[in-house]
Amino acid sequence: MCRREPLSCIIPPHMLRAMAKSSDSDVRRAALSTLVASARIRGQREIVGRVRTAVLSNAPGRKHRSIYNAAHEMMSEWELPGTLVRDEGQPPSSDPTINEAYDGLGATYDYFAEVFNRNSIDDRGMRLVATVHFGTSFNNAFWNGKQMVFGDGNDIIFAGFTRSLDVIGHELTHGVTEFTSNPEYHKQPGALNESFSDVFGSLVKQYTRKQDAASADWLIGAELLAPGIGGVALRSLKDPGSAYDDPRLGGRDPQPKHMSAFVRLPDDEWNDWGGVHINSGIPNHAFYLVATQLGGNAWEDAGIIWYDSLLQLWRTAQFQDCANITAQVAAARFGTESAQHQAVKTAWARVGVPVAAPSPPRRRDRKPALAEGNGRVLKRQLERLGEELQKTIVALG
């Protein structure tokens, strides 16, 4: 199996393919250009690989957002990010798209910093970079491993992609996931990867707007659907499978909310790597059930259990592993048979993945992800190395 460098797009291929078959030539043209551009960028990403330059690093403890403008050009990976239009601390622009991106990045940074004491995506103060006005009628938003990119949509099916705070939170969470347990982007690990982005995308919105679990809409991308499209959002954590029903989006929302309806698809790009945006409905709904059963603010106990689990999972984690780890985390943090532990067990049972005995961590899988990404672990390792070096220097005297 080839090593995938996923382009984490908010609009899955099954939607774009449906749009490409539309009888409306504008919709068809916009969908095809989005598909072609995404494939091109994906190819470039495979070549560029995981380049994380020092330029993206920042002094710890500081929020640094930089918004760039592609001015409707379909920029290559090498041409991005474009022209800098608003840097951290600069006054608002007259262009609302630039301000929406700036504010959305800030809200996501603040959520992870204030709730989890996480310093940006890499926990080392990585600068948050976004490019707006990417391409013409580009119907997508994505995280390319280094930055966010937003299209403007074509206003027929999708409106501008900076409008939705949970979409911005979703895409940046792909960055956090990549720097932590980084489940492989295919089949069940891929659906978990997508689900963590939906969960934290929704939590960024709930935290920013101070909505508790009962009053939150639990939708992803509600602001993206253009008027007249039959649906309320791209996905629903509350009721997966109910977000939309429109032939221009390929019919009904295909997300299952129970393991018995798990959708088996080929493990290739055309089929969204085994339907990672489809089967994510199952873990999404499990989180929703935990949060609503506990009540209050979802970013508190439920969100903390999910974040700790994201740090503990591994590359090949399955739904069952996620169920087991979240239950283990809930028991360790709040006590065995605490309300939190029980809520987690009940939720996973209701989506058809009952919690089993805790999975032993797969050290072989976990090591690379930790060494590669988890800032805190890396920091500790470096400190230890520094201490040893210091001792050696003293000994050499």
Active site residues: 171, 277
CB of 169 to Zn ion, least distance (A): 11
Q: Which stretch binds Zn ion (CB under 5 A): 2-10, 76-84, 134-142, 298-306?
A: 2-10
Q: Which stretch binds Zn ion (CB under 5 A): 197-205, 329-337, 375-383, 386-394?
A: 197-205
- Which tokens hold the place of 395? 């000994």
CB of 287 to Zn ion, least distance (A): 15
Do the beta carbons of residue 136 and residue 142 sit within 8 Å? no
Q: Compute the distance between CA of residue 267 and CA of residue 258 in angstroms, rounded to an integer.
A: 21
Q: Is 151 helix (H, G, I), strand (E, B) or coil?
A: coil
Q: Compute the distance between CA of residue 112 and CA of residue 114 in angstroms, rounded to an integer.
A: 6
Q: Is 83 helix (H, G, I), strand (E, B) or coil?
A: strand
Q: Is 312 helix (H, G, I), strand (E, B) or coil?
A: helix
Tell me the angle at which helices 96-116 and 187-209 cross, rounded to the nearest 10 degrees.
Answer: 100
Residue 147 interacts with Zn ion (CB under 5 A): yes or no: no
CB of 284 to Zn ion, least distance (A): 12
Q: Which stretch binds Zn ion (CB under 5 A): 4-12, 157-165, 330-338, 384-392?
A: 4-12
Do the beta carbons of residue 348 and residue 327 sit within 8 Å? yes
CB of 8 to Zn ion, least distance (A): 4
CB of 200 to Zn ion, least distance (A): 11
Q: Calculate the CA 5 to chain-centre distance.
A: 15
CB of 10 to Zn ion, least distance (A): 6
Q: Which of 22, 108, 131, 197 binds Zn ion (CB under 5 A)?
A: 197
Q: How many C-beta atoms lie closer than 10 Å to residue 248's C-beta?
A: 22
Q: Which residue, 107 or 191, is less far from Zn ion as judged by CB? A: 191
Q: Compute the distance between CA of residue 31 and CA of residue 51 in angstroms, rounded to an integer.
A: 29
Q: Which residue, 6 or 81, is less far from Zn ion as judged by CB? A: 6
Counting residues that bind Zn ion (by CB under 5 A) gives 3
Q: Which residue, 112 or 334, is less far from Zn ion as judged by CB? A: 112
How many CA within 13 A on the CB side of residue 393? 6
Angle in degrees, CA 231, 236, 241, rounded to 5: 70
CB of 61 to Zn ion, least distance (A): 28
Interaction mask 241-280, Zn ion, x per CB under 5 A: ----------------------------------------
Q: Compute the distance between CA of residue 294 and CA of residue 13 in angstroms, rounded to an integer.
A: 35
Residue 8 interacts with Zn ion (CB under 5 A): yes or no: yes
Q: Compute the distance between CA of residue 17 and CA of residue 32 in angstroms, rounded to an integer.
A: 8
- Which tokens hold the place of 9? 């797009």
Q: Which residue, 125 or 175, is less far from Zn ion as judged by CB? A: 175
Q: Which residue, 8 or 202, is less far from Zn ion as judged by CB? A: 8
Dihedral sign, Cα of residue 272, residue 274, residue 275, residue 276: negative
Q: Which stretch binds Zn ion (CB under 5 A): 3-11, 150-158, 218-226, 334-342?
A: 3-11
Q: Compute the distance between CA of residue 132 and CA of residue 68 in angstroms, rounded to an integer.
A: 6
Per residue, the 3-state secondary structure of 203-228, as one string, reads: HHHHHHHCCCCCCCCCEECCCCECCC
Interaction mask 155-194, Zn ion, x per CB under 5 A: ---------------------------------------x
CB of 139 to Zn ion, least distance (A): 15
Tell me the pairing of strands 8-9 and 141-143. Answer: antiparallel
Residue 202 interacts with Zn ion (CB under 5 A): yes or no: no
Which residue in 167, 178, 179 sits closest to 142, CA to CA? 167
Omega before residue 227 within 30° of 0, cis: no
Q: Which residue, 8 or 162, is less far from Zn ion as judged by CB? A: 8
Q: Which residue, 125 or 281, is less far from Zn ion as judged by CB? A: 281
Q: Which residue, 77 or 194, is less far from Zn ion as judged by CB? A: 194
The residues that touch Zn ion, with contacts defined as CB under 5 A, are 8, 194, 197
